[in-house]
Amino acid sequence: MNQHGSTRVENPQGFIHTGPGNIYFNSGAHPQDSNKPAFRRVAEDQLHWLRLMFVDPSGMGKARAVLAGTGTVILDGVPGSGRTSAARVLLHERRRDSGVFHELLPEEEDELALHDPDLVGIGDQLLLDLSTADERQWSTARMDLPALRKAVHEQHAHLVVVMPHDGALEPDLQSYRVTIRRPSGRQVLRRHLRMRGMPYEQYMRSDVTVDEFVAVERPMREIADFADLVRRARETARPDEGFAQWCATAKRARNDRRREVAARVTRLPEAPQRALLITVSMLYGAHADVIHRATQLLLHALRSPSDEVPLLQHKDLAERLTEISADTGPSGHVRFAELDYESAVRAHFWDHMPDLRPHLGTWAASVVDLHDPHVAPAVRDSLVAHLAGEYLRTGRGDGLASLAERWSTEAPSRARLEAAVQALTCGLEDPAHGREFRKRIYQWCVHGRLRGELAEVLVRICADVLAASHPDQALLRLYYLARRERDPAQPALQALNDLVAGSRRLRRRLLDRLARYGLAPPDLSIFLRICDPEPLTDSSGTSRTLVEENEVQHSLTTCWHAVLAELPRAMWQPHAARWLHRAADGTGHRGELLLDTLVSAAERCGERRGEVFAALYASAREAEHTAPGGPARSVGTTELLLHKISVAQGLNLAAAPPASAKGTQP
């Protein structure tokens, strides 16, 4: 059955395919990358997998050359030619240690305009996908492209624009335009088969089904789907079947089976039969024990009358599975006899029994909570993905969002929270509903009543999903969550700190936001957490550190003023000590700028400035005893701080402290 927009678990241990052109990775931490925030690992894994599956289309070499030489390339091509995947691969190939991947969304309300220079950070990889834009959207974007390209050039970043096919383009932009033409369908199919573990001697054989399939120019996503059907056909085939039979089975699976399923349902009028049919379709490939228990839970959720027949007179599971054309393999896992039959069954019941839909959410929650060794994470993921797929296929994203909220708030268990995270991930990754889900998550973070464990779910969604492609949106949502946080562990604040740790640009944006709108008590806590002096004075990859930027200096001074004026010294002293230690650690004039910021912030305290100056000086004296480099440098830093305080107070001054006190090597 060929249903675009459905959700399919391709490999529960790795990547999950949730519709045309989008892949997300669901895994635990990678030991070798444990020092990276989770969203960085997710983004890199996504793009790495895409690169492995990718076959270069015609024009890819030229696109690489244009991007390397100018920092910008504009891709054109017919829909289905792989131009969006090509854009992501191009950016993945330009990835550096600095910068983040960022998909630009110029028309969403909480995104910066394309002409805003704050949109681009050092070394960022920017994707502007306007392949489906209308004439107005494309015209507006073209007006902003010169300013965007200038910022990209200045920040040593890289920008790939996917333009509407054969759209208008000004003469000065034509040199950046590269036309992508689809690669050989046969070559793409073979690459996908190889990456899915198909033996070389099998997929290299000539086959009439493959010849017919590749004879038609198809979108790349259809080829990928067909390759996966061949893989699944191989896994369920008899030992005497080979590549030709696998491909023929995959071809039959692409047929529309709605009438076939409708006829079968008519022949199965009893509730237990239909419950088993639904369960197998939603938990396809699960162990027979899970299928049996989940079927009972579905009957209970639907309040079906209990069967009074004695237990030993019941039909056994094997007989009941035969009635719905399913069986268990040698490992005890249940599958339909026909490949991909389960998606047609799901669609039939969802479309033709709409009153069943709300009960399926309650049932799914009870299934993911089952304490059974066969209910592995992959089984739970498969169930949630299939259920989410039906919501999204029929345009009911609001229902899926409400279901995730319910799983997070009504007797939430660890398994239900994982299910809620995955359900929202499916919505975010869906091309037709992604914007709707981003807006819904924003409303929750800013205005929502965060009952139960919804806040935890939102933190994970923002940090591990949204930040991987839309870091600015993740930043704003995590900021609002951190302001409302009541959890002593402060997971939202930690996630926010991890996010800005990977990007100078995002740290600059957060500091600007804190300073621009007035600092309430929650904002002071956020500032103290993210005001680490090391990234502020880090000069790697840039000729100008953050603390040397006038706008950042203004933000830091404003924030420190609020901290010094409103918080007791015990709360800010450890953070001030880190600044003093950094100033003493050989950072030169950048360290002196840290001191200037502290003094300027204290000077703004009006009648209390003398008291605050004294507190700063006392903190500097205390910091001498804990300085990592020993007290010698810190003593000089304290003298320099005292000199700057004296200047601020207009006192008679002796000569300034020697250079060694300014953070240079003694």
- 246 shares a domain with 324: no
Among 209, 232, 253, identify where a domain stops.
Answer: 253
Q: What is the pLDDT of residue 30?
A: 35
**Distance, CA of 427 to CA of 22 (rounded, Å):** 11
Q: What is the pLDDT of residue 310?
A: 63
- 201 shares a domain with 111: no
**Distance, CA of 138 to CA of 241 (rounded, Å):** 51
Query: pLDDT tens for residues 616-629?
Result: 999 999 999 888 87
User: Residue 128 maps to which CATH number?
Assistant: 3.40.50.300
Q: How many helices (H) and strands (E) does the chain have?
A: 31, 9
Whole domain around residue 190: which residue ranges? 185-253
Work out the widest C-alpha separation in the chain, in whole angstroms. 103
- For 651, other C-beta atoms within 10 Å of its C-beta total 9
Among 371, 394, 417, identify where a domain stops.
Answer: 394
**Distance, CA of 156 to CA of 141 (rounded, Å):** 21
Contacts of 136 (CB under 8 A, 6+ apart): none
Q: Do the bridges between strand 15-17 and strand 72-76 make them parallel or antiparallel, or are there none, so unpaired?
A: unpaired
Q: Where are the alpha helices (DSSP H) in 353-433?
A: 357-368, 377-393, 397-409, 414-429
7 inside domain: no
The DSSP annotation for 293-321 comes to: HHHHHHHHHTTPPPP-S-GGGSPPHHHHH
**Distance, CA of 204 to CA of 53 (rounded, Å):** 17
- 270 shares a domain with 305: yes
- 265 shares a domain with 216: no
User: Is residue 306 a contact partner of residue 255, using CB atoms and an 8 Å limit?
Assistant: no
- 354 shares a domain with 293: yes
- Regions of the chain with pLDDT less than 50: 1-34, 659-666
Among 253, 281, 302, identify where a domain stops.
Answer: 253
Distances in Å between the Cα of 386 and the Cα atoms of 25, 343, 389, 622 are 16, 8, 5, 60
553 inside domain: yes
User: Is residue 365 a contact partner of residue 300, using CB atoms and an 8 Å limit?
Assistant: no
67 inside domain: yes
- 264 shares a domain with 218: no
Tally of structural domains, the chain = 4
- 538 shares a domain with 665: yes
- 163 shares a domain with 72: yes
Q: At what angle do helices 288-301 and 271-282 cross, to 10 degrees?
A: 120
461 inside domain: no
User: What burial letters (b/e) apply to 156-176, b meaning 16+ CB within 10 Å?
Assistant: bbbbbbbbbeebebeeebeeb
44 inside domain: no
Q: How many residues does the chain have?
A: 666
451 inside domain: no
- 291 shares a domain with 350: yes
- 574 shares a domain with 587: yes
User: Is residue 16 a contact partner of residue 428, using CB atoms and an 8 Å limit?
Assistant: no
**Distance, CA of 573 to CA of 605 (rounded, Å):** 17
12 inside domain: no
Q: What is the pLDDT of residue 464?
A: 92
User: Which two tokens mark 587?
Assistant: 């950072």
Taking the CA of residue 558 as centre, how many other CA atoms within 13 Å lie in the half-sphere pointing to its CB? 17
- 98 shares a domain with 205: no
- In this structure, what are the phi and psi dihedrals at residue 335, rounded to the nearest 5 degrees? -145, 155
Q: Do the bridges between strand 72-76 and strand 177-179 make them parallel or antiparallel, or are there none, so unpaired?
A: parallel
For residue 504, give the H/E element and its range.
helix 504-516
109 inside domain: yes
- 305 shares a domain with 318: yes
Q: What is the pLDDT of residue 18?
A: 33
